[in-house]
């Protein structure tokens, strides 16, 4: 039976060096994909992923077993990505937001309509979704990536982004409205 | 609605990171451990060396302590006329124990501990500190 993340961490902390390697290999692909789609092309994804796992290793003793490891891991990955983007001044801001980060138009809109089938068919062309994601601000993109690709709940996303649940839900709603407009 | 978006995002092709990426992380961790081990080695060796130097005056102080306490004189009685002491061995043992310079012995033991413990840890750090990574 496959060991849980917490079991691997406990084993590593009690001296089994191999456990960290197993833990890292289990999650490196997910973290890589998340960072790859979060940061602009001019930023080295490998550096961010490497830095993320180095920070994870360095702070492994601080990890609390009652927490979900992936939530903690993605928090570190996201913060590392933002730190790198800040350093390289590559952070882009949404054209849809006001200075205080609110968007009254999208906030008041409801979004219940399904996507037209032709859009889904069109989306078969993988490049389309990839390009759409690049056009959305990182704030919205990260919510979409965490929710739809990494299957985190909104509560977990709130922990990762250090934002209240309502803010996450609102960002998700705005993100899909923006995405719909682009489609 | 969300299912539609799920379908949309499922079309994204997963990107496989380079195999060497995890090796790169492990190598970075090993190099960091090596740096820490080297710093520890230098600090522990220095501490051990200083204790080694301090041991010389401490031992000579202990030797003079033994001399002034009369311990050697009592001890020499044992060799000179051991049989004469035998009937009073309890009193003699007590006198001998009282003459032991405890402070000087404790000081020597403390300095020896301060020499050997960091030395042990410094030796323990050698494999990590001086391992050659390609």
Query: CA B13 to CA B30: how far, in whole Å?
Result: 33
Using alpha carbons only, what angle is made at residue A71 by residues A68 and A75, rounded to the nearest 5 degrees?
145
Q: Write out chain A residues lying below 8 Å of B18, CB-based.
A: 46
Q: Domain boundaries in chain B? A: 21-126
In 3D, which of B74, B79, B69, B77 has the Cα closest to residue B100?
B69
- A128-134, long-range: CB < 8 A, 24+ apart: A129/B8, A129/B9, A129/B11, A129/B12, A130/A37, A130/B12, A130/B13, A132/A179, A132/A182, A132/A183, A133/A37, A133/B12
Q: Domain boundaries in chain A? A: 5-87, 104-182
Query: CA A124 to CA B92: how far, in whole Å?
Result: 101
Report whether B106 contacts B113 (CB < 8 A): no
Give pLDDT < 70 ranges for chain B: 1-2, 134
Using the 8-state DSSP alphabet, how is residue A113 labeled? P
Check residue A153 and give its pLDDT: 94
- CA A163 to chain B, closest CA, distance in angstroms equals 21
Q: Is the pTM of this model over 0.80?
A: no
Q: Write out chain B residues lying below 8 Å of A115, CB-based.
A: 1, 4-5, 8
In 3D, which of A61, A56, A90 has the Cα closest to residue A74?
A56
pLDDT at A96 over 50: no
- CA B37 to chain A, closest CA, distance in angstroms equals 15
Query: CA B93 to CA B99: how far, in whole Å?
Result: 10
Check residue A115 and give its pLDDT: 63
For CA atoms B75, B79, B80, B86, give the dihedral sign: positive
Check residue B85 and give its pLDDT: 81
Q: Which residue of chain B has the CA closest to A127?
A: B12
**Angle between helix B20-69 and helix A45-58 axes, rounded to 10 deg:** 30
pLDDT at A37 over 80: yes
A19 band by pLDDT with thresholds 50, 70 and 90: very high
Report whether A111 contacts A179 (CB < 8 A): no
Phi first, then psi, for residue B34 (nearest 5°) are -65, -45
A89 Cβ contact list (under 8 Å, min separation 6):
none
- CA A158 to chain B, closest CA, distance in angstroms equals 18
Of A50, A54, A126, the CB nearest to B11: A126
Mutate to test the interface with B, among A17, A123, A152 (most CBs of B within 10 A): A123
A90 compared with A51, residue with greater pLDDT: A51
Report whether A129 contacts B9 (CB < 8 A): yes
Using alpha carbons only, what angle is made at residue B106 by residues B102 and B109, rounded to the nearest 5 degrees?
140
ipTM of the complex: 0.74
Q: Which residue of chain A has the CA closest to B7?
A: A120
Q: Domain A5-87 falls in which CATH fold?
A: Rna Polymerase Sigma Factor; Chain: A (1.10.1740)
Q: What percent of chain A has pLDDT above 90?
A: 58
Check residue B9 and give its pLDDT: 83
A104-182: CATH number: 1.10.10.10
């Amino acid at each position: 039976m496959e060991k849980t993340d917490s079991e691997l961490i406990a084993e590593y902390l009690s001296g089994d060096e191999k456990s960290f390697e197993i833990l890292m290999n289990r999650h490196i692909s997910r973290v890589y994909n998340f960072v790859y789609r979060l940061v602009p092309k001019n930023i080295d994804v490998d550096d961010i992923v490497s830095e993320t796992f180095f920070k994870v290793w360095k702070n492994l003793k601080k990890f609390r077993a009652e927490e979900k490891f992936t939530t903690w891991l993605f928090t570190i990955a996201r913060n590392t990505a933002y730190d790198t983007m800040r350093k390289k001044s590559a952070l882009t801001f949404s054209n849809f937001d006001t200075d205080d980060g609110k968007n009254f138009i999208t906030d008041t809109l409801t979004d219940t309509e399904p996507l037209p089938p032709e859009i889904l068919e069109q989306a078969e062309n993988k490049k389309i979704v990839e390009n759409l994601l690049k056009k959305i601000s990182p704030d919205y993109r990260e919510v979409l990536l965490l929710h739809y690709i990494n299957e985190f709940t909104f509560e977990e996303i709130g922990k990762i982004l250090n934002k209240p649940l309502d803010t996450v839900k609102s960002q998700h709603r705005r993100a899909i409205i923006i995405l719909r407009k682009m489609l | 609605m969300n299912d539609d978006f799920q379908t949309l995002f499922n079309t994204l092709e997963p990107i496989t990171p380079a195999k060497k990426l995890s090796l790169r992380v492990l190598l970075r961790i090993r190099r960091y451990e090596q740096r820490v081990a080297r710093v520890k080695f230098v600090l522990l060796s220095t501490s051990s060396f200083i204790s080694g130097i301090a041991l010389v005056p401490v031992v000579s102080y202990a030797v003079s302590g033994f001399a002034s306490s009369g311990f050697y004189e009592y001890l020499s009685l044992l060799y000179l006329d051991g049989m004469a002491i035998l009937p009073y061995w309890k009193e003699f043992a007590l006198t001998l124990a009282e003459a032991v310079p405890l402070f000087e012995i404790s000081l020597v033991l403390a300095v020896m501990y301060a020499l050997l413990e960091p030395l042990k840890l410094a030796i323990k750090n050698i494999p990590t500190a001086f391992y050659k990574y390609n």
